Amino acid sequence: MQTKATVISVESSFATVEAERNSACDGCHKAEEGGCSVCTLMGSDRKIATRAINEIGAKVGDRVVIESHDGRMLWYAALVFIVPILATLLSWCLTVLFTKALLWQIAGGAFGFVVSFLAIFLYSKKISKSRCDVEIIEILKTED
């Protein structure tokens, strides 16, 4: 996946870039009214900053093209959407083995759901320190 961004800071072989969130907001019928409920939940600022590998030497203020690998983004989506469902079902099934009380079974499923998001959060923190998923692949000319 590729998008255009602006370099806002540079540190050794990495750069912090700022890009506009486009895919969720383009074509929204409420764009003229200030956005829909999704825009409200994500914040009114449609810009998002991320760290990118800067092997081509982009400088602060440069307009660049950044790329993230589709396979890794699909893995993250699966992690966020599928793992909580599986954890909820697994913890509910385990609870059913030990008790017939519906309230405890529901609590067991809820426990698995909450624990899955805690695990995803900790995994995300660990990975974000050791890996950079975005790379600057092109510096755009000023007229682009």
Tokens 């009114």 correspond to 44
Length of the chain: 144
Cβ atoms of residues 132 and 14 within 8 Å: yes
> What are the φ/ψ torsions at residue 142 (nearest 5 degrees)?
-65, -25
Position 70 in a domain: yes
Position 91 in a domain: yes
Domain that holds residue 135: 2-139
Q: Which amino acid is at 34?
A: G
Tally of domains within the chain: 1
Position 129 in a domain: yes
pLDDT in tens, 77-121: 888 899 999 999 999 999 999 999 999 999 999 999 999 999 999
Position 144 in a domain: no
pTM metric for this prediction = 0.57
